[in-house]
Amino acid sequence: MHPAYSVIFFTTASGAGYGLLVWMAVFGSLGLAPTAREFGFTGFALAFGLVSAGLLSSTFHLGHPERAWRAVTQWRSSWLAREGVVALATYLPAGVLAVGWVFFENVSGPFVPAAILTIAGALVTVWCTGMIYASLKTIRAWNQPLVAPLYIVLGLATGAVLFDLLLRVWGETGGFSGWLSAVFLATGFGMKLAYWRAIERADKTYSAESATGLGLFGKVRPLEPPHTQPNFIMREMGYRVARKHALKLRRLAVLLAFAIPIVAALLSLMLGGLLGLIASFGAAMSVSAGIVIERWLFFAEAEHVAMLYYGLDKA
């Protein structure tokens, strides 16, 4: 599949934004984060900015972005529509929580229900994002049980790194945020390795023979190329990345998205102060670049069954 930059930005930015919203709501309501309005304003501004920019960028991949609002009307059958509905609904409790934090410096008592709804809405939205891809049986690499959970874990991991950085900017050195980042990054690393192993070992069950029902007569091949020049389907669904390049990019994704941020998060725990802040900032920069590469590979390594019509043996 062709990796559309708007969709890559959408899934990475909104995932990090919702992850940050979750941790702001969790630790704010538990009294483990500063209740200063400046901290609340910065945290929610960053989270809302990432979420909103991500959601808006997703419309750029549509043929008619001005009609994007119509998608939410299909929530009974479409994961994309469900994502849109839940994403819009999540703004309400998150906004109430932000008002309590910024204007009243209070996220306890009457604001706890808003925090709970914010957590639920953020997690369900990211789950729906993952299910947009996981529900597509025509793309074997996406139709995997790990896809949606991995979207949630990576969103929580990147959100935890951002939350840890915010705490350190405000002079908070509580170790829980650093450990939180390391644990979720390590979990994401394990799940990503399992995902890569699963798509490599999964049987390619779709073929031209099974698609046409002519397999019993032998090998099926096109008599002539279906088109004289590349078309939209070939450009969007026929993109392929060489295996040697994919392996290099996987190693780079592991290094930037998991290895360096985990080490940096642990270093920030040991160093503290300015050095701890620098390490936490390094973790945030590294994981941002690494997740972009990981998401690019998620699209580039996927094969659509439509390419059987264009000469692909199996998918």
Whole-number pLDDT of residue 3: 83
Domains, the chain, ordered by start: 5-310 (1.20.1630.10)
Whole-number pLDDT of residue 116: 97
Pairwise CA distance, residues 310 & 297, whole Å: 22
Q: Which residues pair with 207 in a beta bridge?
A: 314
Distance of alpha carbon 44 from its chain centroid, rounded? 19
Whole-number pLDDT of residue 243: 78
pLDDT of the chain, 315 residues: tens digit per residue: 788 888 999 999 999 999 999 999 999 999 999 999 999 999 999 999 999 999 888 877 666 666 666 667 777 888 989 999 999 999 999 999 999 999 999 998 889 999 999 999 999 999 999 999 999 998 999 999 999 999 999 999 999 999 999 999 998 866 788 999 999 999 999 999 999 999 998 877 788 787 777 777 888 877 777 777 777 777 778 787 877 889 999 999 999 999 999 999 999 998 888 999 999 999 999 999 999 999 999 999 988 888 887 777 777
Whole-number pLDDT of residue 69: 67
Whole-number pLDDT of residue 4: 85
Whole-number pLDDT of residue 189: 98
Whole-number pLDDT of residue 247: 93
